[in-house]
């Protein structure tokens, strides 16, 4: 059986899945911050919180993008190895941080950027080590 190859089309779908993952995370965050400081002390507070979340259009758009991402991701995984797909898809760590800064006005500390960089470096090492092992 021939080895699955990473084509430009599959790479495009991986980037699209990353973008959709970032988008649905953003939408879920927006749906969860409808109230400035929600009190989640009791069952009633949780019901009020979930009522607010479920009434947010961001929640439903985020859910739709999550479903679309799942379909694209499943399609990608049927074409290439998981060990190839996940390292490429891990760029969503950067995308989420950038979206958080630009649209949610969050502060990303230097230490958090270093952590993101270390995660991506580790993913690259794991990805490259798989290729080195295959060539031996």
pLDDT tens column, 37-90: 677 788 888 888 888 899 999 999 999 999 999 999 999 999 988 888 888 888
Can you tell me whether residue 136 is helix, strand or coil?
coil
Angle (CA) 77 129 127, round 5°: 35
> Which long-range contacts does 64-68 make (Cβ < 8 Å, 24+ apart)?
65/20, 65/23, 65/24, 65/27, 66/20, 66/24, 68/20
Distance of CA 91 to the CA centre of its chain: 8
What value does the mean pLDDT of the chain take?
Answer: 87
Residue 115 lies in a domain: yes
Task: Please report, to the nearest 10 degrees, the dihedral formed by the alpha carbons of residues 8, 10, 15, 20 taken in order.
Answer: 150
Residue 129 lies in a domain: yes
d(CA 8, CA 5): 10
Number of domains in the chain: 1
60 lies in which domain range?
8-135
Instruction: Answer for the pair 112, 97: CB distance below 8 angstroms, yes or no.
Output: yes
Quick one: average pLDDT of 9-17? 92
| Alpha-carbon dihedral sign for residues 88, 89, 90, 93 | positive
Residue 3 lies in a domain: no
Residue 1 lies in a domain: no
pLDDT digits (tens, 9 = 90+) for 70-84: 999 999 999 988 888
Residue 76 lies in a domain: yes
Q: Give the residue with greater pLDDT, 126 vs 16.
A: 16
Q: Give the residue with greater pLDDT, 18 vs 4.
A: 18
pLDDT digits (tens, 9 = 90+) for 23-39: 999 999 999 887 666 77
Confidence (pLDDT) at 50: 87
Instruction: Answer for the pair 38, 114: CB distance below 8 angstroms, yes or no.
Output: no
For 104, the token pair is 């949610």
Residue 53 lies in a domain: yes
Residue 2 lies in a domain: no
Confidence band of 3 (pLDDT split at 50, 70, 90): low
Residue 110 lies in a domain: yes
Confidence (pLDDT) at 133: 55
Confidence band of 130 (pLDDT split at 50, 70, 90): low
For 126, the token pair is 């794991």
């Amino acid at each position: 059986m021939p080895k699955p190859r990473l084509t430009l089309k599959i790479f495009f779908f991986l980037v699209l899945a990353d973008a959709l993952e970032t988008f649905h995370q953003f939408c879920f965050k927006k749906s969860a911050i409808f109230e400035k400081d929600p009190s989640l002390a009791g069952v009633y507070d949780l019901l009020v919180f979930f009522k607010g979340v479920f009434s947010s259009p961001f929640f439903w758009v985020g859910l739709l993008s999550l479903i679309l991402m799942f379909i694209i991701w499943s399609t990608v995984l049927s074409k290439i190895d998981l060990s190839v797909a996940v390292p490429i898809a891990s760029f969503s760590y950067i995308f989420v941080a950038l979206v958080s800064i630009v649209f949610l006005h969050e502060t990303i500390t230097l230490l958090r950027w270093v952590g993101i960089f270390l995660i991506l470096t580790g993913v690259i090492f794991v990805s490259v080590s798989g290729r080195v092992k295959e060539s031996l």
